Structure 1
């Protein structure tokens, strides 16, 4: 692990492990509820990519904004949104973050600086650039952390956004979560160049790639990039090379991947990698891990109960929140 720049206490490291494990268990419960028909529509799980959300959570400032595509559960949780309300949104209940109207793909929680959850591929990049413009206009020292997948990185509006961000020196951190596949199409089949960190070069936006299966590496990369942006260096780009262990969505059996490929990336599981680091450095022992497991299990049970007992929204809500003034 490359952790020479890390500014985390031992308590932070244990907390990071707990948070990543919580995302994993939250997503496993979402998968279970989807299979029972209690979550409708599409559902894209974050299993395998937990180190990205966790790195952002520990590197960002409280007033930074996050915006992403539809694989969004882990990232809204990284904004410290109430996980009960997040699951209630997935199950379409009134206590959801968007009153049950957004569902899995369109979660939104402005009070916690989470701006979605967007279903149109690449659309969030333009909006995230706008959040950066607002931050500069208000001089609030916040950064727009704008995430996209490797598939979205081939969309034209991404490069229009890059141009404006650099032209106006906006505080935007663009993160490309490269999990190797745009739905079921591999990067090698969909991109003429398979490295994404240099996609901002023609706009003079510096970029680099990091191992997204290593929490410390992700955390350091994001922290350092955010510091550069706050110091006036303008937009930055990070390609985080990660992997999703499940299909693109719950309806995808992911037969386009070989068993050997999946097993290779499972051997790099970010949660187990961090656990080994904690054990090897005597930061915590197995007793602590058992306590964490027990606490998360109870928390997930409470989340499930809350989300299923929350009432369904009244049909009149269909006509509310359509316009804003």
Structure 2
């Protein structure tokens, strides 16, 4: 499909630079398969879902994956985006023309890494020195990897260490937050429990590649970066049982949706999974696992804009985004939410 079919103009003032406070005070646009759009709030979620529905959260935890260092006199920036093994990470490099395989980058605080090889997509494999876990090194030398549309407008600060982490964060490994779940609070979870809405968790370590713009004019020419994910066998069993009993599976965030769809066969049964996925969902895709999606508003011409268009229909989603812009919804990672029910 033509990439420009998923383009739209967004006023810069609608890009949220801080989240709503409290988190569940964010607005939420309800988009159904047909009919009028509904202006609601995240706190309305218990009345918008049904007893027996299941919300599926991603429990990945964002690590301080952005590093600034030097190779000699050259400044080198690195954004880790996928773990290879205990000491090696794949990383996007800023000022990559000044770095060659075999050279070492000093990141400060006693943290350094060797650029082992340059991959076909332009990223590098970085092998970190020493015996301390890489996560410990990152806590010392790294910073929270805010998306460029936020980091380009203000400096990352201590508040982001809390704001850019969901209440479900448990498994270290993401370099971007599963932002749909940023809206949840213990108070909201209690209300969902009282409404009979169940919850499950999976793990997908979100990589920066998910949010890269689609290069080229056609979706056929875009290659998704792979990300590692896991759904436990008991989680899969409970999800299948809930659906068999008439409950709907509502993914909280595109990361949860992508792993659920990766784990589901043609028979509609969700299977346990532990491994990489590079699923790329565009209009025409037949959804097998999910019955709805809660997600923030996405960038124009992004793979995530294509995903929500696949779920709801491109014209329906473009109309929803026009409505959101006209009604001053806040966009992107720290922005408002939408509930998509095809």
Which TM class, normalised by the smaller chain length?
A: under 0.3
**TM-score w.r.t. length of structure 2:** 0.23
Q: Larger Rg: 1 or 2?
A: 2
With CA pairs under 8 Å and 6+ residues apart, which has the higher RCO, 1 or 2? 2
Structure with more of its chain in helix, by fraction? 1
